[in-house]
Amino acid sequence: MINISLLLLNNVEEKAGGLFDFDGTLPLTIFQFLGLIFILERILYKPLSGIENTRVENLKEKSEKAESTLSRATFLTDLYNTEVSNVEKKINILLKQDDTRLKDNFQNRLVEINQSSTTTIIETEQDINKKIAGLSSNENVKSASTTIAAIIINQIISK
Q: What are the extents of the domains in the chain?
A: 44-158
The whole-number pLDDT of residue 84 equals 95
* 117 vs 159: CA distance, rounded Å: 10
Q: What is the pLDDT of residue 25?
A: 77
Q: What is the pLDDT of residue 123?
A: 85
Q: Measure the CA–CA gap between 119 and 113, rounded to whole angstroms.
A: 10
Q: Are 124 and 153 in contact (CB under 8 A)?
A: yes
Rounded Cα–Cα distance for residues 159 and 154 (Å): 9
Sequence letter at residue 95: L
pLDDT score, position 18? 56
Q: Residue 153 and residue 147: Cα distance in Å, rounded?
A: 10
pLDDT, residue 64, reads 95
For residues 124 and 132, give the distance between their C-alpha atoms in angstroms, rounded to a whole number. 12
Task: Say if residues 121 and 157 touch (Cβ distance below 8 Å).
Answer: yes
**88: closest CA among 53, 11, 96, 31?**
96
| Contact yes or no for 121/153 (Cβ under 8 A) | yes
Q: Report pLDDT for 142.
A: 64
Name residues of the chain where pLDDT drops below 50.
Answer: 1
Radius of gyration, CA atoms only, the chain:
58
139 to each of 88, 129, 136, 151, how far by Cα in Å?
73, 15, 7, 18
Query: Contact at 8 Å (CB) between 152 and 128?
Result: yes
